[in-house]
Amino acid sequence: MNRRTNKRGWTFSFQLSTQHRTLRLKSLFIIMAASPTSPILTSSLSSSIISLASTAPIPVGLTDAEALSGRLLFAIPKKGRLHEKCLNILSGADIQFRRHARLDVALVLNLPIALIFLPASDIPSFVGKGNVDLGITGHDVILESEMEEHITEVLKLGFGKCALQVQVPEQGPIKTVEDLAGKRVVTSFEVLAGKYFAEMDERLGLMKDGKERTRIEYVGGSVEAACSLGLADGIVDLVESGDTMRAAGLHAIATLLNTEAALIKSTRPKPNRPAELSTLIDLITSRIAGVVAASKYVICQYNVSRDLLSAATAVTPGRRAATVSPLEESGWVAVSSMVEKKNIASIMDELTKIGAQDILTFNLDNCRV
């Protein structure tokens, strides 16, 4: 196994067995072929990829940029907390593909799209620099990459919700974030944590008079272990449920930001991109928006006497208006309305109190609202 590290500290592994070469190499070669001037890859790494790829058996149709020509490039997190949710979004949007084992490029079967599976932390750079057209990643990752000026967050996706928090030992002497100023902070978010504590250091006067500033140290994972191992006085990390932090004896003393997954596109797309691909971006955005909306709503149907209709539709007004249909039984109507899934139990309780009967709910697979 050979390892190479580029200037940004990314390590790439190449398995040289003639029967089982790492196929991730092929995907990087494809992206590089589609964007030969990409600033993401250093020249030394590019040379290594070309040299190794020339000896590796690459599937037919994926050997050069021709396979990606005329296709919209859509970056998807290849693993981690967002990966499975992204696959569900793609399925709901009827983006059909087959991904070969270990290969990080998949051609969509029913649309002119190529899915590029990348680390979520790299997606803002590829999108912001125009190497790919669309991507899904976390809002926190966009800010950490400092690419927000080159990226448009087209749509919030409603999953991957976390908080980037300052955490310290629950039984320790540090009670407020000001107590942590001038001490050691470990994080995977050097940029965001650095800006946050630099502003606090300046506010507290630590930027002058020779006082020691807050020291930000980077670790790539298991950040929650840093305090117990003596590496840090506090940490900055993403928190979802908080169970991991509580298990490590930590608690939050400040929140830097709240984040969730977002669909993003570049503010500086390739100048030679075909017009039909720009139209395709709008189509995919509309489809994904429909999947997201469907996950938030259900259809609520019930029967109610006409004299109680006003009270019932006040509880279920729908997106625009409830659908009301007369029943064969005189004085009764059937009502159908979209309601928020998170409120459905209380809505059904209210309808029951009003006098509605035969109350049913139906999940939505997709919609356009």
**Could you read off the pLDDT of 48-93 as tens digits, one per residue?**
333 333 333 344 334 446 777 789 999 999 988 899 999 999 999 9
pLDDT band at 210 (very low <50, low <70, confident <90, very high): low
pLDDT band at 335 (very low <50, low <70, confident <90, very high): very high
Mean pLDDT of the chain: 84
pLDDT of residue 36: 45
Fold for 2-160+262-273, please state it.
D-Maltodextrin-Binding Protein; domain 2 (3.40.190)
Residue 255 has pLDDT above 70, yes or no: yes
Structure tokens at 106: 């998949």
Please give the CATH number for the structural domain made up of 162-259.
Answer: 3.40.190.10
Q: Could you tell me the residue ranges of all domains in the chain? A: 2-160+262-273, 162-259, 297-363
pTM: 0.75
Same fold, 2-160+262-273 and 162-259: yes
In degrees, rounded to 5, the angle at the alpha carbon of residue 286 between the alpha carbons of residues 116 and 69 is 35
* Neighbouring C-alpha atoms within 13 Å toward the C-beta of 207: 8
Residue 112 has pLDDT above 90, yes or no: yes
Q: What is the edge-to-edge ordering of all strands in the sheet holding 184-187? A: 215-218, 184-187, 234-239, 162-169, 250-259
Residue with tokens 């502003």: 199
Say if CB 23 and CB 14 are below 8 A apart.
no
Length of the chain: 369
Q: 28-42, 115-129, 242-256: which has the minimum mean pLDDT?
A: 28-42
Residue 183 main-chain phi, psi, to 5 deg: -110, -165
C-alpha span between 237 and 223 (Å, rounded): 7
C-alpha span between 55 and 105 (Å, rounded): 19
8-25 pLDDT, tens digit per residue, is 444 444 444 434 444 444
Q: Which residues contact 229 (CB under 8 A, 6 or more apart)?
A: none
pLDDT band at 276 (very low <50, low <70, confident <90, very high): confident
Say if CB 120 and CB 260 are below 8 A apart.
no
Amino acid at 18: T
Element (H, E) at 275: helix 275-296
What percent of the chain stands above pLDDT 90?
A: 66
Structure tokens at 227: 């305090």
Domain 297-363 in CATH 3.30.70.120: yes
Residue 133 has pLDDT above 80, yes or no: yes
